[in-house]
């Protein structure tokens, strides 16, 4: 490419457009769509990062040349580059934000790199001569001439040097030296026989080369440490041409434990029907979207795995998305048990270095199955044969920051490009997806029975209104639930308890004057955390000491309100002193790998009761769990959000589904103050279809999704008056361009009106079809650049997940 069009790494409106640059002749064959560059930018020509999006046809006036290519091959595939355009248009995000969202952190331009020699053919002195001493340690592509860059790229292409990206955990990223035999076994025997008896070590090495070391080679350290062959002997052998040394990349292994391979199940009738439809679509390369609606424990995962296998058999790759955190390690292990080393995992539990390694394994084609959370939807796979979105209703698939994409939509878009099917799976599908089945846009596949016809657990509702405080066994446990737990403990079965809160206690209030301790920066009360013995703000991270006296009236009658997992754990210890309790919440799972460890302990019966927040609701498949208790079913219902019922139904159904998954029948107790609420009553029946119809009726009445689309515009400023003023200006821009069928709500303060000392106002537009809307929103976004300088932020969120 002689001329390139690039998107520069500046998140601003004026720069959200392609720029044309020239390419020095030495680099013209090294550059392609998706290459990351440094280009001179602005009056000062400071070097900034840029992505090549296409070849440019015509030179522009005062065109500059690029400074450097940052990676020796294009960082993004042409498909991803194209996808970034689509996302930026759909979500009103800057193109550069979309491109950056696709890259692992380790590739951020601030990452330090250095040149490392990996072959005997070059020496440090030679390199210093070419690049200079400093560049060897801290490579700054901007300071290299085009010729130097060309030389560097050639060295990389010839496996003589490599670039090391220094991440925080770089110590664990390594190349290892491996030894490969160069001669036949015969030949080794001949040589061995011809050697003097005194050359003991050489003879032993030759022996190993005949009997132990295969064509796959052996790591040098192993040869040295395990087989006691000295380095000098190894070097002699290299000199004699018996063996060669090669430097092989050893990836950081994000999998802490090995996984036993498993066998696939013979599918039951319903699974078979679903699999047949999906695999036909894989084979015929159709970009169908399926909704696999299967009750909890119906064996959706087995259908996914066999469908993935079909895609792999036809030489293609597979992408599987799972909701963030708790589910990922479990699901990754199930997929690894089936597909072994072909699996790569991408999720927030990995360090930057681990993510980068996994990313490279995918990029070079070594990993063919990718399992990961939301951002894994951008995995640099080519030739995708199937995409699976497990627990498709999960709100974690929507990114809450720019670019505000929904991974489900991105998955469908990528599948169209690759002509492959998407399988959305859930026991409790989102109303949006389920409704699309009715319109024929999605094909509905149902699994109505558990995999081996086990019965669904019996769900009992405990009306907490009638349980007087005195007749309760403890503050948060009804007698019924306590008896049920005791019964399971006696039988050595296991219990899962759900509490939908975090922290020890929600807030602190003064009993004399009613004062509640709030965050100084945000409109929200501080939460007590026993692990750090402090009060913390969940929005801005503000932290202060636990008050002894009231800041308002000086009284010492401070009370802690609300419940948290730590408090429940204490109650459990009092009620069942003999039981082992494993607590899983944000505090106990902060450390890397903590999730996996806690779940493994529960799986090994090192605990009888697993107590956790919503993170334990999905995906757990433990055969000895026969009781599930929901301590407070109502927390989510109280939220002023039209999805409150849906979320509550999903949570209760999902968590109920953890009980009785194997041969023993399960029981569920749901403690609630709203026993008549339809979401709770229908969760008791575990009847998604019934819930769907009821909820659709209400959504239609309330003009909510999926009957109406919605977009939320948020305006924030440090000065509340300014925020309001701007919100009305935006409203005035919007309104004349909307039809009379559109519904505009606001401007109104957001539910949490102040965060980090900024005031938030919102406008919500609900609509069915608005031909001008996209254009108006684009205008609002374009103009927001000037507003930004005046201290405003304006954000557009298409189909917001949390609009309160
Ligand atoms: N065809 C089959 N024959 C026997 N056992 C099966 C079969 N399919 C799945 N199973 C087993 O049934 C159990 C439940 O399956 P799985 O976890 O895949 O269900 P699921 O639908 O994904 O559940 P959930 O939505 O509750 O997470 C698993 O232990 C799985 O190994
Ligand atoms: Zn007080
Ligand atoms: Zn705060």
Query: Can you say how many angstroms the Cα of residue 87 is from the centroid of all Cα atoms in its chain?
Result: 18
Q: Model confidence at 344, in pLDDT bands (50, 70, 90)?
A: very high
β-bridge mates for residue 793, sequence order: 716
Question: For residue 453, is it left (φ>0), alpha (ψ between -120 and 50) or beta?
Answer: left
* Residue 573 to residue 571: CA distance in whole angstroms: 5
User: DSSP string of 473-537?
Assistant: SBTTB-HHHHHHHHHHHHTT-EEEEE----SSBSEEEETTT--B-B-SSSSSB-EEETTTTEEE-
Q: Is residue 524 part of a domain?
A: no
What is the pLDDT averaged over residues 646-671?
90
Angle at 643 between CA 725 and CA 537, to 5 degrees: 60
Which tops the pLDDT comparison, 314 or 212? 314
> What is the tens place of the pLDDT at every residue in 94-126?
999 999 999 887 776 556 777 888 888 888 888
- Taking each continuous run of H as one helix and of E as one strand, the counts in the chain are 23, 32
Contact 385, 137 (CB under 8 A): no
- Which protein residue has the closest C-alpha to ligand 1 atom 9? 299
Question: Do residues 433 and 576 share a domain?
Answer: no
Q: Please report whether residue 411 resides in a domain.
A: yes
CB 301 within 8 A of CB 362: no
- Cα(588)–Cα(566) distance, rounded to whole angstroms? 10
Number of domains in the chain: 6
**Cα angle: 488, vertex 491, 494; to 5 degrees:** 45
Does residue 137 contact residue 124 with C-beta atoms inside 8 Å? no
Tokens 């290459």 sit on residue: 35
Dist. CA 206–CA 765, nearest whole Å:
77
Q: Is the pLDDT of residue 290 over 90?
A: yes
Q: Which two tokens stand for residue 529?
A: 């955390």
285: three-class secondary structure by DSSP: coil
Give this prediction's pTM: 0.81
Measuring CA to CA, which residue among 454, 466, 370 is closest to residue 411? 370
Q: Which ligand is nearest to the CA of 547?
A: 2
Query: Does 264 fall in a domain?
Result: no
Residue whose CA is at the smallest distance from ligand 1 atom 15: 299
Distance CA 279, CA 294 (A): 18
Q: From the CA of 557, which ligand is nearest?
A: 2
Structural contact between residues 46 and 89, judged by C-beta atoms closer than 8 angstroms: no
Decide if 659 contacts 721 (C-beta within 8 A): no
Q: Give the tokens for residue 214.
A: 């295969």
Query: Is residue 747 lining ligand 1, measured as CB closer than 6 Å?
Result: no
Annotated binding site for Zn(2+): 510, 513, 519, 522, 537, 540, 550, 553
Residue nearest to atom 16 of ligand 1 (CA): 299
Q: In terms of domains, do 274 and 404 share one?
A: yes
Domain annotation covers residue 603: yes
Both tokens of 50, joined, read 């840029």
My answer on whether 443 and 467 are in the same domain is no
- Give the number of the atom of ligand 1 that is nearest the alpha carbon of residue 619: 27
Most confident of 217-231, 554-568, 760-774: 760-774
Higher pLDDT, 509 or 363: 363
Q: Of 195, 218, 250, which marks where a domain is finished?
A: 250
CA torsion angle 364 366 372 377 (round to 10): 40
Residue 85 lies in a domain: yes
pLDDT of residue 578: 92
310 shares its domain with 419: yes
CATH number at residue 610: 3.40.50.300
Beta-bridge mates of residue 543: 536
> pLDDT band at 272, cuts 50/70/90?
very high
Q: Which structure tokens are listed for 33?
A: 């769509």
Closest CA to 688 of 423, 390, 389, 447: 447
CA of 557 to the centre of ligand 2 (A): 8
- 645, 683: one domain: yes
Q: Are residues 385 and 300 in the same domain?
A: yes
16-20, 141-145, 246-250: range with lowest mean pLDDT: 246-250
Q: How far apart are CA 717 and CA 172, in angstroms?
A: 44
Beta-carbon contacts of 119 under 8 Å, excluding residues fewer than 6 positions away, are 158, 159, 160, 161, 247
Domain that holds residue 408: 269-447
Residues 496 and 623 in one domain: yes
Q: Which two tokens stand for residue 775?
A: 């254009």
Average pLDDT, the chain: 86
Q: How far apart are CA 530 and CA 527, in angstroms?
A: 10
The pLDDT assigned to 784 comes to 73
Pairwise pLDDT comparison (466 vs 460), residue with the higher score: 460
Residue 288 CB neighbours (<10 A): 17
Q: Which atom of ligand 1 is nearest to the CA of 620?
A: 27
CA distance 117 to 136: 10
Q: Where are the alpha helices (DSSP H) in 609-702?
A: 644-656, 678-685, 688-702
| Same domain as 601, residue 671 | yes
Judgement on whether residues 370 and 302 belong to the same structural domain of the protein: yes
* 536 domain-assigned: no
Confidence (pLDDT) at 593: 74
Whether 534 maps to a domain, the answer reads: no
Residue 217 Cβ inside 6 Å of ligand 1? The answer reads no
Domain-terminating residue out of 166, 187, 203: 166
Nearest ligand by distance to the CA of 331: 1
314 alpha carbon – ligand 1 mean position (Å) = 25
What is the predicted pLDDT for the residue at 668? 94
Contact 536, 527 (CB under 8 A): yes
CA of 525 to the centre of ligand 2 (A): 15
- The stretch 267-291 carries a mean pLDDT of 97
DSSP state, residue 398: B
Domain boundary among 129, 147, 166: 166
pLDDT greater than 50 at residue 206: yes
**Sequence-ordered list of residues with C-beta below 8 angstroms from that of 734, at least 6 positions apart, any chain:** 713, 744, 763, 765, 776, 780
C-beta of 149 in contact with ligand 1 (< 6 A): no
Q: What mean pLDDT do residues 599-603 have?
A: 89
Burial of 44 (0-12, 13-18, 19+ CB in 10 A): exposed
Q: What's CA 4's distance to the chain center, in Å? A: 33
Q: Give the 3-state DSSP-derived string for 322-366, with helices as H, strands as E and coil as C.
A: CCCCCHHHHHHHHHHHHHHHHEEEECCCCCHHHHHHHHHHHHCCC
CATH value at residue 754: 3.30.70.600
Are both 758 and 690 inside the same structural domain?
A: no
Residue 439 shares a structural domain with residue 307: yes
| Lowest model confidence (mean pLDDT) among 237-241, 492-496, 514-518 | 514-518
CATH number for position 17: 3.40.1440.60
525 touches 519 (CB < 8 A): yes
**Four-residue CA torsion sign, 239, 243, 248, 250:** negative
Residue in the structure block whose two tokens are 């309100």? 561
Residue among 679, 683, 669, 648 at smallest CA distance from 477: 669
Distance (Å) of CA 799 to CA 51, 155, 765: 29, 49, 10
Counting Cα atoms < 13 Å in the Cβ hemisphere of 584 gives 28
Any idea how long the chain is? Answer: 804
> What is the three-class DSSP state of 668?
strand
β-pair type (558-561, 369-372) = unpaired
> CB-hemisphere CA count at 13 Å for 804?
13
Residue of 442, 421, 410 lying closest to 311 (CA atoms): 421
% of residues, the chain, pLDDT over 90: 44
426 within some domain: yes
The atom number, within ligand 1, closest to the CA of 657 reads 26
Q: Whose CA is nearest to atom 5 of ligand 1?
A: 451
Q: Determine whether the shortest distance from the Cβ of 653 to ligand 1 is under 6 A.
A: no
Q: Taking 70 as the threshold, does the pLDDT of residue 155 lie above it?
A: yes
Averaged over 125-136, what is the pLDDT?
81
What pLDDT is recorded for position 502? 43
Q: Is 503 in the pocket of ligand 1 (CB under 6 A)?
A: no
Spatial neighbors of 526 by CB under 8 A, at least 6 apart, are 507, 508, 517, 518, 519, 535, 536, 537, 542, 544
Summarised one tens digit per residue, pLDDT across range 401-451 is: 889 999 999 999 999 999 999 999 999 999 999 999 999 999 999 999 988
Ligand 1 pocket member 299 (CB < 6 A): yes
Number of neighbours of residue 225 by Cβ within 10 angstroms: 10
Do residues 390 and 357 lie in contact, with contact meaning Cβ atoms separated by under 8 Å? Answer: no
d(CA 99, CA 80): 8
Residue 562 has pLDDT above 70, yes or no: no
Element housing 600 (H / E):
helix 594-603
- Give the whole-angstrom CA distance, residue 613 versus residue 611: 7
Structure tokens at 604: 């090994």
Q: Identify which of 249, 247, 305, 267 has the alpha carbon closest to the alpha carbon of residue 117.
A: 247
Residue 537 pLDDT greater than 80, yes or no: no
Residue 323 Cβ < 6 Å to ligand 1: no
Q: How far apart are CA 615 and CA 13, in angstroms?
A: 38
- Interhelix angle 688-702/678-685, nearest 10 degrees: 160
Candidates 273, 427, 451, 625: which one to mutate for ligand 1, based on the most atoms within 8 Å of Cβ? Answer: 451
Same domain, 184 and 282: no
Neighbours of 208 (CB within 10 A): 17
Lowest mean pLDDT among 320-324, 507-511, 635-639: 635-639
What are phi and psi for residue 772, nearest 5 degrees? Answer: -90, -10
pLDDT score recorded for residue 175: 66
Q: Is 663 helix (H, G, I), strand (E, B) or coil?
A: coil
What is the distance in A from the centroid of ligand 2 to the CA of 544?
18
**CA–CA separation, 195 vs 790, rounded Å?**
84
Q: Going by CA atoms, what residue is nearest to atom 29 of ligand 1? A: 621
């Amino acid at each position: 490419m002689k001329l390139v069009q690039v998107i520069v790494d500046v998140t601003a409106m004026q720069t959200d457009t392609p720029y044309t640059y020239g390419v020095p002749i030495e680099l013209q064959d090294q550059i392609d769509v998706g290459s990351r560059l440094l280009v001179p930018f602005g009056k000062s020509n400071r070097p900034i990062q840029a992505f090549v999006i296409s070849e440019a046809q015509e030179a522009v006036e005062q065109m500059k040349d690029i400074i450097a290519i940052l990676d020796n091959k294009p960082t993004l595939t042409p498909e991803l580059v194209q996808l970034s355009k689509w996302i930026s248009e759909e979500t009103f995000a800057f193109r550069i934000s979309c491109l950056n969202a696709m890259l692992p952190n380790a590739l951020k331009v601030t990452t330090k790199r250095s040149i490392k020699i990996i072959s005997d053919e070059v020496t440090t002195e030679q390199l210093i001569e070419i690049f200079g001493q400093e560049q060897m340690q801290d490579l700054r592509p901007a300071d290299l001439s085009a010729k130097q860059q060309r030389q560097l790229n050639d060295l990389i292409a010839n496996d003589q040097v490599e670039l090391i990206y220094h991440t925080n955990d770089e110590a664990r990223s390594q190349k290892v030296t491996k030894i490969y035999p160069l001669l036949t076994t015969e030949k080794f025997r001949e040589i061995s026989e011809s050697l003097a008896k005194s050359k003991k070590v050489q003879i032993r090495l030759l022996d190993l080369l005949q009997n132990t070391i295969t064509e796959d080679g052996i790591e040098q350290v192993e040869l040295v440490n395990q087989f006691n062959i000295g380095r000098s002997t190894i070097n002699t052998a290299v000199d004699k041409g018996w063996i060669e040394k090669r430097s092989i990349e050893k990836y950081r292994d994000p999998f802490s434990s090995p996984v036993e391979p498993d066998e696939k199940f013979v599918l039951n009738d319903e699974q078979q029907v679903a699999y047949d439809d999906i695999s036909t679509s894989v084979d015929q390369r159709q970009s169908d979207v399926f909704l696999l609606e299967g009750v909890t424990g119906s064996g959706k995962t087995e259908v996914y795995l066999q469908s993935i296998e079909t895609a792999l058999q036809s030489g293609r790759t597979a992408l599987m998305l799972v909701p963030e955190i708790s589910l990922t390690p479990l699901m990754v292990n199930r997929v690894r048990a089936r597909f072994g080393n072909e699996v790569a995992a991408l999720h927030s539990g990995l360090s930057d270095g681990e993510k980068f390694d996994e990313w490279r394994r995918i990029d070079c084609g070594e990993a063919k199955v990718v399992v990961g959370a939301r951002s894994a939807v951008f995995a640099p796979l080519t030739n995708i044969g199937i995409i699976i979105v497990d627990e498709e209703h999960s709100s974690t698939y929507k990114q809450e920051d720019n670019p505000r994409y929904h991974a489900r939509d991105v998955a469908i878009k990528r599948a169209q490009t690759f002509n492959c099917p998407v399988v959305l799976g859930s026991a409790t599908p989102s109303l949006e997806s389920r409704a699309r089945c009715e319109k024929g846009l999605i094909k509905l596949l149902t699994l109505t029975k558990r995999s081996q016809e086990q019965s669904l657990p019996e769900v009992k509702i405990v009306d907490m209104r009638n349980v007087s405080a005195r007749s309760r066994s403890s503050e948060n446990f009804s007698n019924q639930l306590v008896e049920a737990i005791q019964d399971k403990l006696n039988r050595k079965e296991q219990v899962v308890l759900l509490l939908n809160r975090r922290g020890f206690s929600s807030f602190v209030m003064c009993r004399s004057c009613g004062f509640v301790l709030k965050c100084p920066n945000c409109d929200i009360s501080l939460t007590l955390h026993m692990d750090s013995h402090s009060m913390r703000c969940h929005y801005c991270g503000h932290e202060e000491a636990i008050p002894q006296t009231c800041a308002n009236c000086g009284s010492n009658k401070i009370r802690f309100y609300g419940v948290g997992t730590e408090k429940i754990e204490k109650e459990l210890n009092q009620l069942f002193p003999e039981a082992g309790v494993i607590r899983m919440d944000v505090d106990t799972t902060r450390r890397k790998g903590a999730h996996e460890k806690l779940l493994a302990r529960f799986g090994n019966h090192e605990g009888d009761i697993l107590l956790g927040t919503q993170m334990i609701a999905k995906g757990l498949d433990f055969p000895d769990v026969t009781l599930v208790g929901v301590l407070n079913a109502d927390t989510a219902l109280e939220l002023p959000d039209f999805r409150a019922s849906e979320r509550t139904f999903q949570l209760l159904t999902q968590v109920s589904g953890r009980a009785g998954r194997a041969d023993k029948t399960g029981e569920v107790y749901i403690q609630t103050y709203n026993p008549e609420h339809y979401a709770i009553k229908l969760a008791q029946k575990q009847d998604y279809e019934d819930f769907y119809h009821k909820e659709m009726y209400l959504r239609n009445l309330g003009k909510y999704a999926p009957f109406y689309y919605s977009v939320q515009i948020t305006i924030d400023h440090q000065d509340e008056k300014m925020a309001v003023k701007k919100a009305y200006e935006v409203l005035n821009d919007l309104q004349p361009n909307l039809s009379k069928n559109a519904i505009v709500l606001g401007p109104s303060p957001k539910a949490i009106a102040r965060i980090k000392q900024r005031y938030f106002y919102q406008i919500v537009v609900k609509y069915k079809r608005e031909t001008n809307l996209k254009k108006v929103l684009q205008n609002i976004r374009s103009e927001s650049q000037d507003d930004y300088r005046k201290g405003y932020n304006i954000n557009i969120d298409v189909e917001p997940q949390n609009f309160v």
